């Protein structure tokens, strides 16, 4: 039986997900992640965190981090994470994430952290240079991010599945060691279809760390840049507009068009049958530009408005902090810590 404990006052289920403040999102991040998060806004209590404490596990520049947090926040709001319908918070502004991570860390087998795929990959990357203990501890902090809010559902990409398994293991272990405290969260991974590929190498996913940046469309790319990138997408030598394994470039463009317009790939294949590839690419470019236009317009309004963005964080953090304190004080009591008098 799954250990279960409902700490929430709210009848709605809680969704929580977090992302590092990269300051830039591409079509893959939007169609594969952020846009799906907006589907929870109506019937869930939603917490969306920007995890700046995770962002310091590899070398970084402090002033750039601050800038990236504001840009990421503004992008999320522009993508539809409406602050009046969800709690947008900044990890470092909430007391509880690192505190809970310490307690969970004391329950976490070292070997499980050393076996994490992301740790192995990142610690071997040459550009990382120095491997700090924070990189190893990262998944424990991530578990704390989730458990601190007793989340029911955590939408993440496939690459985070192993971290979520650890989170569930730690919740179960804490509950068994002390007593039922944490809800064991469910993981929501989008269907494989949500994977957007690089326009230049359609065998690889669209990624901001791809050295060939012309294969990656950013949400804030100006229309002429979007058009140029899509018009030079790699395709194949036939002229059939059909999704299939032998046609990864056209398949990717069909998927992008489908995600941009809401029409099925089958309907799009039928609608564009007989078009030359250049004409089809122009259709895709128009659709992507139209899909991103409202996001870009909203970003132009709020992207530089620090007082608005600070206020969003203030309001989000107030709710998040209240919830975090409630859980943390319960955990402290169970762990045998003496309650502090304020
Ligand atoms: P990096 O290249 O630095 O690893 P990324 O561009 O792949 O970054 P992440 O920050 O790792 O993006 O991912 C943020 C979210 O976007 C995750 O939920 C991830 O699954 C999703 N995502 C990233 N790239 C794609 C893609 N090409 N298609 C669909 N979803 C994606
Ligand atoms: N590790 C995740 C970001 C992340 C996260 C979380 C996601 C940190 N804490 C809590 C969901 C829930 C990533 O790199 N995408």
Pocket of ligand 2 (CB under 6 A): 17-20, 51, 54, 142, 145-146, 154, 156, 160, 163
* Residue ID of nearest Cα to ligand 1 atom 3: 209
Q: What sections of the chain are H helices per DSSP?
A: 27-29, 35-38, 62-78, 97-107, 110-114, 117-124, 133-147, 161-177, 223-231, 248-261, 265-271, 277-302, 306-335
Q: What is the DSSP letter of 93?
A: G
Instruction: Say which ligand is closest to the CA of 256.
Output: 1
Residues with a known catalytic role = 122, 205, 208
Per-residue pLDDT at 192: 57
Question: Taking a C-beta distance cutoff of 8 angstroms, is the pair 16, 50 a contact?
Answer: no
What is the rounded CA–CA span in Å between residue 274 and residue 280?
9
Measured torsion, CA atoms of residues 88, 94, 98, 101, in degrees rounded to the nearest 10 = -60
Domains in the chain, CATH or no CATH each: 13-193+306-335 (3.40.50.620), 213-300 (1.10.240.10)
How far is ligand 2, taken at its centre, from the CA of residue 163, in Å? 8
Atom 7, ligand 1: residue with shortest CA distance? 207
The closest residue, in CA terms, to atom 12 on ligand 2 is: 17
In angstroms, what is the span from residue 267 Cα to ligand 2's centroid?
Answer: 35
Phi, psi of 19 (to 5 degrees): -145, 150
The residues lining ligand 1, judged by C-beta closer than 6 Å to any ligand atom, are 19, 22, 26, 28-29, 32-33, 156-157, 159, 194-196, 205-209
Cβ-contact 279, 239 below 8 angstroms: no
Query: Dihedral (C-alpha) 333, 338, 341, 342: value to the nearest 10 degrees?
Result: -60
What's the 248 CA to ligand 2 centre distance in angstroms?
Answer: 29
| 233 contacts 248 by C-beta, under 8 angstroms | no
Instruction: Report pLDDT for 195.
Output: 84
Q: Tell me, what's the pLDDT at 61?
A: 96
Q: What is the CA radius of gyration of the chain?
A: 22
Q: What is the pLDDT of residue 7?
A: 46
Residue with the smallest CA separation from ligand 2 atom 9 is 142
Residue 154 DSSP one-character state: E
Q: How many residues does the chain have?
A: 342
Residue nearest to atom 23 of ligand 1 (CA): 29
Q: To test the ligand 2 pocket, which listed residue (51, 89, 100, 135) has its Cβ within 8 A of the most ligand atoms?
A: 51
> What pLDDT is recorded for position 342?
63
Going from the Cα of 139 to the center of ligand 2, the distance in angstroms, rounded, reads: 8
Tell me what pLDDT residue 209 has.
Answer: 84
Tell me, in angstroms, the distance from the centre of ligand 1 to residue 20's CA: 11
Q: What is the pTM of this model?
A: 0.92
Closest ligand to 26 CA? 1
How far is residue 316's CA from residue 83's CA, in Å, rounded to a whole number? 8
Ligand at shortest distance from the CA of 17: 2
pLDDT value, residue 2: 39
CA distance 255 to 265: 7
CB 4 within 8 A of CB 183: yes
Per-residue confidence (pLDDT) for residue 332, from 0 to 100: 97
- Chunk the chain into consecutive blocks of 10 residues (it has 342) and report each block's average pLDDT, rounded to whole numbers: 44 95 94 94 98 95 97 98 98 98 98 95 81 95 98 93 97 98 95 81 91 95 98 95 96 96 96 96 98 98 98 98 97 94 68
HSE-up of 279 (CA within 13 Å, CB side)? 9
């Amino acid at each position: 039986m799954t250990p279960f404990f409902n700490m929430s006052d709210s009848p709605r289920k809680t969704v929580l997900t977090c992302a590092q403040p990269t300051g830039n999102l591409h079509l893959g991040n939007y169609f594969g992640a952020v846009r799906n998060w907006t589907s929870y806004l109506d019937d869930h209590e939603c917490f969306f965190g920007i995890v700046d404490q995770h962002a310091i596990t590899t070398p970084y520049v402090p002033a750039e981090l601050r800038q990236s947090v504001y840009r990421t926040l503004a992008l999320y709001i522009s993508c539809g994470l409406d602050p009046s319908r969800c709690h947008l918070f900044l990890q470092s502004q909430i007391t509880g994430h690192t505190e809970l991570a310490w307690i969970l860390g004391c329950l976490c087998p070292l070997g499980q952290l050393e076996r994490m795929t992301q740790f192995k990959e990142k610690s071997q990357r040459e550009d990382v240079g120095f491997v700090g203990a924070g990189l190893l501890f990262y998944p424990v902090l991530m578990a704390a991010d989730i458990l601190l809010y007793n989340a029911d559902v955590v939408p993440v990409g496939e690459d985070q599945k192993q971290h979520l398994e650890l989170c569930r293991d730690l919740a179960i272990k804490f509950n068994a060691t002390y007593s039922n405290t944490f809800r064991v969260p469910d993981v929501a991974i989008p269907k494989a279809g949500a994977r957007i590929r690089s326009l230049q190498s359609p065998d690889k996913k669209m990624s901001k760390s791809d050295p060939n940046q012309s294969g990656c469309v950013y949400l804030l790319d100006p229309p002429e840049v979007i058009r140029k990138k899509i018009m030079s997408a790699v395709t194949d030598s036939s002229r059939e507009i059909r999704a299939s394994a032998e046609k990864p470039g056209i398949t990717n463009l069909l998927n992008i068009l489908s995600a941009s317009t809401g029409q099925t790939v089958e309907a799009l294949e039928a609608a564009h049958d007989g078009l030359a590839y250049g004409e089809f690419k122009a259709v895709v470019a128009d659709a992507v530009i139209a899909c991103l236009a409202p996001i870009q317009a909203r970003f132009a309004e709020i992207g530089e408005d620090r007082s608005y963005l600070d206020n969003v964080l203030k309001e989000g953090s107030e709710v998040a902090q209240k919830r975090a304190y409630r859980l943390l004080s319960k955990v402290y009591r169970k762990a045998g810590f003496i309650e502090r008098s304020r």
